[in-house]
Structure 1
Amino acid sequence: MKTQVHERRPGSTLTDAYVGRTDPRVRELFPYHPLEAGDWERRAAQLDDQVGNRADREGLGRALTAYNRSHGASSQTLQAIERLAGGALAVVGGQQAGLWGGPLMVIHKAVTIIAAARDAERRLGRPVVPVFWIAGEDHDWEEASHTYVPEDGKLRKLAVERPAGPRTSVSQTPLTPDVWEQELAELAAVLPDTARKPELLTKLQSLTAGAQTMSDQQAAILAWLFAGEGLVLLDADDPALRQLEAPMLQRMLADNGELEEAYTAAASDVSAWGYALQAEAEHGSANLFYYRKETLTPERSERIKLYRTAEGFADRRGLIRLTADEALAQAADAPERFSNNVLSRPIMQDYLLPVLAAVLGPGEIAYWGIIGRAFRLMGMEMPIVLPRMSFTLIDETSAKHLEKYDLTLDDIIDRFEARRDDWLAEQDEGWLEARFEETKRQLLALYEPLLGEVTERMPGLAGLAAKNRELLGEQVEFMRRRVLAELERRHEVALRQLDRLRLMLHPGAPQERVLNFAPYWSRYGDEWLRQLLAVPYDPSGRHRLVYL
């Protein structure tokens, strides 16, 4: 296996300051750091002291066992759940569900969680379990319902339309077997024919056979891909887990105003220090959602944002009105009616699980920076924040073309068009640009004195002379473009290879944020994933090139 660290210049974001420890003020927001060896022991000890202040472990074990069994859990995963219920700590990370598993960074996050849990277990000499949190309570269907796959040199978007009905969470948005059949047929048409393609399609068909929602599909895919790694899955919208969360929901409602003050104070500091906010505490927001039953479709519930009022809580459309006592009573008796947002979810996650460390992407780290004081308000501490490991997968064809055209990933990201044009010009010994520029200069040099004399003798033609000079330059440029187009035609194969490089390695954004895993599994089976799992854990989260 060949891997290579890809260094990029550090930025000036809150995430960069935290990871690189370049700003001592940021330490106020994050009580631990993964590169501080003693912080792992401190966090473990803090969790041991707070055992009685978290959700019931036995109930957690039962809920996780039921959920994971329903999505094809391996024996390793079921054993990990037993360890968790018996006192093991957890390394946790998560992502919203996505079509066919979503972008590669979902896989990368799971790989990081597994690697970090193993490293922590070795470091502490005690059980540490990897847990992947599917954020099924989110209702951003547009983000969850699509993925991208390369097709004939272009990026193909595969997407599922949101079913008619109330705007609710992804985990409560049902999809029919017909939808999965249609999506699988589209994926099959897009993927190039390979020896392993039939096996992949057969497997995905079996995984979606029992999937009633996008979250179900995500869980089934992750359970399959990481069957041997003991990865525990959970859905944030699981009613069984929500029952365990009831005490924390009540606290969040009872101390809601103080929670907002904690978020706002930290956000104010972050802004004063010159860092952009990735998430803001909206004034008056309860930082919770409420599922409102629809009278026309009682089997579906609309997920609506709650705000504080003088009497208690309500939404902005006047559909929900709860007194403070009513909200607390519902949180106790029907906690499944409530749902967290991005600012309250980390606290709920820490109440539900003994989170030794949380694996986060760059944007997540930035918004977690304003949550630390809210943790303390709840009598808790933010866990160790771990940057997600980041990868660019370089297939054999891309590796060959990188070498052939003497390109680097930085060339692809920062200066692809320039390098492409430079290569094209070099194919004709560089005469193109130089000759056209020289010709344009000579023509203007000959023409300029005449235009100057005309303008001097006939001032009324000054504007026409200037326009004529511009047209002359445009005609030369027109011919240059036509010659360039002919060169492109002559070197069409090479240019397609260059464009494929960009599509595969940086398709308008980092590869891991766009491309789906299916083309890699179709070509390499699970070998590409085994390579990622073999990469040594790196708590700095540096980007790596992985040559397949």
Structure 2
Amino acid sequence: MPNDCISYQESGYFSDLISDYLNRKTELEKLYNRFPTLDNFGAQIDEKSANFSGNRALLSETIERQYRGLDVSDITRKNIESLKSSRTFTVTTGHQLNLFTGPLYFLYKIISTIKLAAQLKERYPDCEFVPVYWMATEDHDFEEINYFNFKGKKFRWHREVSGPVGRLDTEGLAAAFELFSAGLGAGNHADTLRKLFATSYLEKSNLTDATRHLANALFGAYGLVILDGDDTELKRQFSPYIEKELLGQVSHQEVTDTIDTMHGYTIQVNPREINLFYMEDGLRERIIREGETFVVNNTPMRFSETEMLDIVQRHPERFSPNVIMRPLYQEVILPNLCYIGGGGEIAYWLELKSFFKAMDVTFPMLLVRNSVLLVTEKQAAKADKLQLTWKDLFRKPQDLVTEKTKALSPFELDFSAQKDFLRRQFAALFDIAQQTDKSFSGAVKAQEAKQIKGLDNLEKRLLKAEKRKHTELLSRMTHLQQELFPNGTLQERFANFSEFWLDHGEALIPKIASVVQPLENRFDIIVL
């Protein structure tokens, strides 16, 4: 193949907002603090050092407590301990508690985070940099996380639930395991996957512990630190900001004002008047203010202002930040420099800078995570034989077929030249018509439209005929594209890591990590 990567912008899978952000469009500079380059991290370190008021000792001790019962690598243990130092900073990514990691990009997020932390250590050797995976334990959308795809089949966790997913017990996952195990077949790599699933989901009591165990098994050797924000002591640090949100509703005003300046872009999330949920086991519902009373949506619970503020002090763990407030919570308790996320995540972070400023919290640098397409040697050979570039394969299927049909045809299938010639002829006729009767001008215009439409139809018929002529070759191209883009979407958004682990085992993660470069903003194609 002529290259092994394309830019995010060329891939066609990123929004205008993210493409313009990556291109550092001047109009967007007001939406972020610093663009992520190695040199820019120096100023970010200085600003976070001066502005961070979180309790480092408590953070380290809390994470250590959350790791109890796990086999913790020396490098992860060292990273947890180092968080007590004022010269230690974090690089953070976050992700839902998808069953068995969910889609492939779970791996890419964490690998990006680990790689960036290592690069920062090389550039700023006087500091320590800890890669952090923030588990989205408080999310309540079970349908988004209760399945994964393996070899085109969906393995789903069937049950009725409500409330924060991290607190769910793992009842019912034995059935999913039996089906998955049967589909794995025999071999050492298959046995490793069985063990990973069983020790994570069948031997742990809740989804938080299961996900922590799995992520630690995959990435503990790289020093990854896994954090659960659903924690009373961590929430206690955040309680002043919870009070400000309840009483002042600062986030709604600041984010709304920012959105009003983002003309022409699709808005990722819109703020609510109060961007907090009330949370207990089996319950996570919006808090709504009605006059002097706070109401928990879809429940009979109602609190006066005094009662609500009293709960903040006594039970801060009952308040769960939504998508607008969660980033603030993260940055309050972590000495964080950079958040790494997908395009959709970075899009909503770009709405938040003025809110952070109003709360006097340093806004982190924002990095679009690495994206990867995993390709077998056989698939790469097919692409070469079919004379397809990676850019070709990233096209929409219909566009790929059309472009390749035109390339295969021995004659020109585009009638643009003929249409332009026709328009020039009718322009001359129209000049004459304007000097005569107005009705003649209308007749000229109507005839022009008819002739152009006729050429359009001839062009479509000719293209269709050429497609039939090259059916077999075009079919091989689209079949390869379907293999690499299952269900017409990016592989990383559909397939699970186990599909590739089955062939490559423990070599899979090091192979990906050896290729991706977090700060280069490119979509890597990795031939396995």
TM bracket, shorter-chain basis: 0.7 to 0.9
Q: After superposition, where does 1:235-250 map in structure 2 within 5 Å? A: 235-250=228-243
Q: 1:214 aligns with which of 202, 207, 212?
A: 207
Instruction: Give the TM-score normalised by the residue count of structure 1.
Output: 0.78
Q: How big is the shift at 1:267?
A: 1.1
Task: Please give the secondary structure, in 1, of the residue aligned with 2:275.
Answer: strand
Question: 1:133 touches 1:234 (CA, 8 Å); kept in 2?
Answer: yes
Matched, 1:526 2:483: no
Q: How far apart are the structure 1 equivalents of 2:356 and 2:31?
A: 11
Q: Distance in 1 between matches of 2:352 and 2:498?
A: 36
CA distance in 1, matches of 2:396, 2:16: 23
Specify whether residues 422 and 253 from structure 1 end up closer, same or farther in structure 2 by C-alpha distance, changes over 3 A only.
Answer: closer
Aligned residues of 2:190 and 2:502 also touching (Cα < 8 A): yes
Residues 455-534 of structure 1: pairs in structure 2 closer than 5 A = 499=479, 501-534=481-514
Unaligned runs of 5+ in 2: 411-460
Give the C-alpha shift of residue 181 in structure 1.
2.0
Quote the residue 1:360 is aligned against.
341
1:291 aligns with 2:288: no
- Residue 71 of structure 1 and its aligned partner are, at CA, apart by 4.3
Which amino acid in 2 is paired with 1:17?
A: D
Question: What is the CA–CA distance in structure 1 between the aligned matches of 2:400 and 2:46, rounded to whole Å?
Answer: 54
Residue pair 2:5, 2:390 contacting (<8 A) in 1 also: no
Is 1:169–1:303's contact at 8 Å kept on the other side of the alignment? yes
Of stretches 526-535 and 100-109 in structure 1, the one that deviates more from structure 2 is: 526-535
CA 1:421–1:12: 2 relative to 1, 3 Å: closer
Deviates most, 184-193 or 361-370 = 184-193
Shift in Å, 1:405: 2.8
1:414 alignment partner, SS class: coil
2:251 to 250, 253, 259: 259
Give 1:425 deviation, angstroms: 13
Secondary structure at 1:386 match in 2: strand
Aligned CA distance change for structure 1 residues 387 and 329 (closer, same or farther; 3 Å): same
Alignment-mate amino acid for residue 348 of structure 1: Y
Mapped partners of 2:406, 2:44: distance in 1 = 59
Aligned to 1:329: 310
Amino acid at match of 2:258: A
Counterparts of 1:545 and 1:188 in 2: how far apart (Å)? Answer: 29
Q: CA deviation at 1:194?
A: 4.8
Shift of residue 426, structure 1, vs aligned partner: 12
Q: Deviations over 1:390-448 (max 9, x none)?
A: 11111233223223333334333325467679999999x99xxxxxxxxxxxxxxxxxx
Matched, 1:276 2:266: yes
Residue pairs, 1:313-352, within 5 angstroms = 313-317=294-298, 319-352=300-333
**Structure-2 separation of matches of 1:45 and 1:422:** 51
Do residues 541 (structure 1) and 521 (structure 2) align? yes
Q: Deviations over 1:312-349 (max 9, x none)?
A: 42234452322222222211110111101010001000
Q: Which residue is equivalent to 1:370?
A: 351
Aligned: 1:80 with 2:73:
no
1:129 maps to a residue whose letter is V
* Equivalent position SS for 2:67: helix
Note the alpha carbon deviations across 1:258-296, whole angstroms, 9 max, x for none: 2211111111111xx3111001113x3x1000025xxxx
Name the counterpart of 2:168: 173
- C-alpha displacement of 1:91: 0.4
Q: Does 1:17 align with 2:20?
A: yes
Measured in 2, the distance between the counterparts of 1:418 and 1:249 equals 50
Equivalence for 1:458: none
Point out where structure 1 has 5 or more consecutive residues left out of the alignment: 293-299, 431-476
Q: Identify if the C-alpha distance between structure 1 residues 201 and 498 changes in structure 2 by more than 3 Å, giving closer, same or farther.
A: farther
| 1:135 lines up with 2:136 in the alignment | yes
TM score, norm. by length of structure 2: 0.81
Alpha-carbon displacement from aligned partner over 1:358-393 (angstroms, at most 9, x marks no partner): 112111111111111110111112111111111111
Letter matched to residue 289 of structure 1: F
Structure 2 contact 149–494 (Cα < 8 Å) conserved: yes
Q: 1:418 to 1:244 in 2, by over 3 A?
A: closer
Change in Cα spacing, 1:204 to 1:258, as seen in structure 2 (3 Å) is closer
Q: What's the RMSD between the two structures over aligned residues?
A: 3.1
SS at match of 1:226: helix
Partner SS, residue 280 of structure 1 = coil
Contact in 2 for aligned 1:71/1:216 (Cα 8 Å): no
Q: Deviations over 1:178-211 (max 9, x none)?
A: x222112221233355552123212322222332
Secondary structure in 2 matching 1:406: coil
Following superposition, the deviation at residue 496 of structure 1 comes to 8.1
Q: Percent identity?
A: 25
Counterpart AA for 1:58: A
Aligned to 2:224: 231
Distance 1:409 1:263, change over 3 A: same
Contact 1:93 1:360 in 2 (8 A): yes
Name the counterpart of 2:44: 43
Deviations 1:298-324 (A, max 9, x none): xx3311011223214223445232222
AA at the equivalent of 1:33? F
CA 1:422–1:336 in structure 2 vs 1: closer, same or farther (change >3 Å)?
closer
Given the superposition, is the C-alpha separation of residues 401 and 71 from structure 1 closer, same or farther in structure 2, using an over 3 Å criterion? Answer: farther
Could you tell me how far apart the structure 2 residues matched to 1:117 and 1:81 are? 14
Code of the residue aligned with 2:290 in structure 1: it is T
Question: Match for 1:314: what amino acid?
Answer: V
How far apart in 2 are the matches of 1:189 and 1:240?
43
How many pairs were matched up? Answer: 470
Whole-angstrom distance in 2 between the partners of 1:235 and 1:3: 40
